Amino acid sequence: MRYRTSAVVALACAASLLTVPAKAGAAPQCDTTPIRTAMKALEGVGATGMSVTVKSPNCGVRTGGVGVADRGTGRKVVGDEHSRIGSDTKTWTATVVLQLVGEGRIALDDTVDDYLPGLIRTRLYDGRTITIRQLLQHTSGLPDYLDAPFWEDEDAHRWDHIEPLQTVRQALALPRPERAPSGFAYSNTNYNLVGLIVKEVTGRGIATEIEERIIRPLGLCETQWAGDRTTLPKPELRGYAQRGKTLVDRTEWNTSEADASGALISDGADTTAFWTALLTGKLLAPAQLAELKRTVAEDVANERYGLGVERHEPYPGFVLWGHSGSMSSGHKFRNAVTDDGRRAVTLLIGSESFDSDRVDAIMSRLLRDLR
């Protein structure tokens, strides 16, 4: 995993990506040229299928698709498919934590040991020196549990129920990871650990907190916590994973191990609504939103990471936020939102193999040109 005001209104107002809404004034001065250009370009990135959602002030929310949602039947992607969003879940988890910070129930500079005393106490790792901020920003120095030998054959654990505590213990047996000069080292362990802390503080699991604090208030009807569910709601974007030289259907998967680091299922309209609400201040107070956007350099040039958010600046002064995701089932997620939250593009992708750099460039150009 390097994985209405409500969604009902958003879906009701959604139009084809390639047609202007018929109702006069519904999308004033909407120029679909950038959308058409992007859709054409996405046809050539090598993905089996891609559900696309675009939002802007003039064009509203529009959904569409590229390729097929199901290779077996030839069903085409139309834009309303459900998919696993993988590590984009981290942003939802970080939002819950920052809400708890705003309520005075968690402090970002508290340590893991303040909430889970004695859980992390090994020769290499000490919970008394790891803060909540470091977990959210991937500067804790904890390794990724997915690097444990247990996960060398992911298919062997495709149907397993795995508790987040088990993944933390897997990570603690690993050597220290390589880190960027900033201290950044991406690790799913960090967020599964955050999920345990949220449960300790609230008495409720991270799934319930996301449901009560984000999904219900925003009316995100198409978003759900996977738990032990191995299937996706219909219509689904099927996932194709690379096994040798072959793409195989791995849609059905128990993703319980992903937990707070990557367990959510959603669609393009819901995830776009979440990110819009987040960046326009509807989910966090100004102080906590500012913390969310405080970044450190990643181990990739020109990429920065805040508290559960990735920051990109594809053109000087043009800042985009988002969080990518991927799952063993073959599902990938990409999104980008302008700093003011007014323009957004969300991609649910049904295969592991595609031209990632080209997708990033297409998304950046679309958001630059979209009005």
**Contact between residue 313 and residue 368 where contact means Cβ atoms under 8 Å apart:** no
- pLDDT at site 206: 98
Which residues, in sequence order, are bridge partners of residue 236?
82
The residues, ordered by sequence, that sit 6+ positions from 273 with a Cβ below 8 Å of its Cβ are 6, 7, 10, 218, 220
Say if residue 10's pLDDT is above 80. no
- pLDDT at site 190: 98
> What's the rounded mean pLDDT across residues 2-6?
28
- pLDDT at site 13: 33
CA-nearest of 213, 250, 244, 237 to 333 is 237
CA distance 110 to 75: 50
Backbone angles phi and psi of 165, in degrees to 5: -60, -35
**Strand, coil or helix: 11:** helix
Comparing 15 with 87, the larger pLDDT belongs to 87
CA distance 146 to 143: 9
**Strand, coil or helix: 80:** coil
The residues, ordered by sequence, that sit 6+ positions from 267 with a Cβ below 8 Å of its Cβ are 51, 53, 80, 81, 82, 83, 222, 223, 348
CA-nearest of 264, 237, 248 to 331 is 237
In Å, what is the CA distance from 88 to each residue of 20, 85, 150, 243, 347? Answer: 30, 6, 24, 24, 12
Task: DSSP for 20-72, please give it.
Answer: --SSTTSSTT---HHHHHHHHHHTTS--SEEEEEEEETTTEEEEEEEEEEETT
Residue 284 DSSP class: S
- pLDDT at site 9: 35
Lowest mean pLDDT among 91-105, 272-286, 294-308, 348-362: 294-308
- pLDDT at site 17: 53
Convert the pLDDT of each residue in 78-101 to its tens digit.
999 999 999 999 999 999 999 999
- pLDDT at site 300: 77
- pLDDT at site 302: 82
Q: Which two tokens stand for residue 219?
A: 């009316």
- pLDDT at site 120: 98
> What's the rounded mean pLDDT across residues 301-324?
96
CA distance 339 to 47: 28
Residue 46: alpha-carbon gap to chain centroid: 21
CA-nearest of 339, 276, 225, 289 to 95 is 289
> What's the rounded mean pLDDT across residues 91-112?
98
Lowest mean pLDDT among 9-13, 167-171, 351-355: 9-13
> What's the rounded mean pLDDT across residues 102-121?
98
Say if residue 243's pLDDT is above 50. yes
- pLDDT at site 28: 72
CA-nearest of 8, 10, 88, 92 to 53 is 10
Which residues, in sequence order, are bridge partners of residue 311?
304, 321
**Contact between residue 53 and residue 61 where contact means Cβ atoms under 8 Å apart:** yes
